Amino acid sequence: MTALILAPLLLATVLVSGLAGAPIVRKAAPALMRTPRLAVGALFATLVIWLAGFAALGPMFAWVLSGPSGLLPGDTGLVCQRCLDAANPLPPGLEFNTFIPVILLLALPLILVLAMIIGGYRYRRRHGKQQRDLQDALGAGSTQTWIAGQPVTVIVHDQPTAFALAHRRWGIVISIALMELLTADELTAVVTHEAAHLRQRHHLILRLLHGGIAPLRWIPLVAAIDAAIPHYLEMAADNAAREQTSTPILASALLKIGEKSGPAALHAACGPVALHAAGIDRIRHLIAPPDGKQGMLPISTMLTVVGILFAGSLVVHLPYLQAVLEGCLL
């Protein structure tokens, strides 16, 4: 009975949230930006649970749909059917004959994981090339120094720029133009911001995010989460800088960088491999953050959706796991 109720509810929730969930993610921003590190974890968990619900649709439809079974050689089809029968919580007689092979429905989670692995591999190759190009651009005339207790690479560049690279040789990178533009306190705020990126492993988070969901960015909810998380990572780094210096000092530094920065070849070479300190758009959040109560209703909606997806995923995936553990493959 539980499966009969949750199955259609899971289907509706996956489809509606996937197609119409992006505005909810954006409207939850006033509350999420209050605790950006928690926001990153919550959005990441929402994405994972939604993917689990999406992957559960195929095995769920396999309970009620039957189709051709001749795609698999030998006894493989019989084994799949035995596992399906063992995992099916629905009473007999509810199946509908279709032209869809059941194996395709059962393989949906595997197809999803395989697509994510391929997307991650392609992203890693592209990311590696961009990082090598950036390192080549940094190599000419760079020097090493210490600022605010952090090792820093200083580069010769006519634009005030600062960014962090997840690389032992480079780490925090700033330009001579930035050092000439900012006061000592403002420079400390910028360096502390970049150090927070490295300490909190923001590069790793972005690699997992951008690489894993590359084939799924056409889904509005996935695209919205993919776009939101980098902003919250910047806010988390801002919070670390504010604790070290102050909000006015950090805001002043961001304003100066934003006013003086322009299009530059170095910025173009960075791509997604470097996390930048610049960002006039963040100043408004620093000096006049919105009322967090404005985002409480969207967050409540997100929690409800995540709860339904989580419960529905368990109802679908656990019977199959139990069937496997009980030896249906043998």
φ and ψ of 152, to 5 deg: -135, 140
The crossing angle, in degrees rounded to 10, of helices 184-199 and 202-212 is 50
CB-hemisphere CA count at 13 Å for 306?
A: 17
Say how far apart CA 287 and CA 244 lie, in whole Å: 16
* Placement of tokens 């070290």 in the chain: 244
Say how far apart CA 272 and CA 155 lie, in whole Å: 19
Low-confidence residues of the chain, pLDDT below 70?
1-4, 67-78, 92-96, 99, 137-140, 167-169, 259-281, 329-330
Give 304's DSSP letter: H
* Placement of tokens 């322009």 in the chain: 262
φ and ψ of 147, to 5 deg: -135, 130
Vertex 193 angle, CA 139 and 226, to 5°: 90
Residue 58 confidence (pLDDT): 87
Residue 264 confidence (pLDDT): 42
pLDDT digits (tens, 9 = 90+) for 143-198: 889 999 999 999 888 888 898 887 666 789 999 999 999 999 999 999 999 999 99
Residue 269 confidence (pLDDT): 41
CB-hemisphere CA count at 13 Å for 30?
A: 12
* Amino acid identity, position 51: L
C-beta of residue 296 within 8 angstroms of C-beta of residue 37: no
Residue count of the chain? 330
Retrieve residue 39's tokens: 């926001």
C-beta of residue 283 within 8 angstroms of C-beta of residue 251: yes
Say how far apart CA 242 and CA 189 lie, in whole Å: 7
DSSP 3-state of 143: strand
Say how far apart CA 208 and CA 201 lie, in whole Å: 11
Residue 234 confidence (pLDDT): 92
Retrieve residue 273's tokens: 């491999």
Residue 105 confidence (pLDDT): 78
Residue 22 confidence (pLDDT): 94
DSSP 3-state of 64: coil
Give 295's DSSP letter: G
φ and ψ of 185, to 5 deg: -65, -40
Vertex 229 angle, CA 256 and 213, to 5°: 135
* Placement of tokens 């090598």 in the chain: 132
| pTM summary value | 0.85
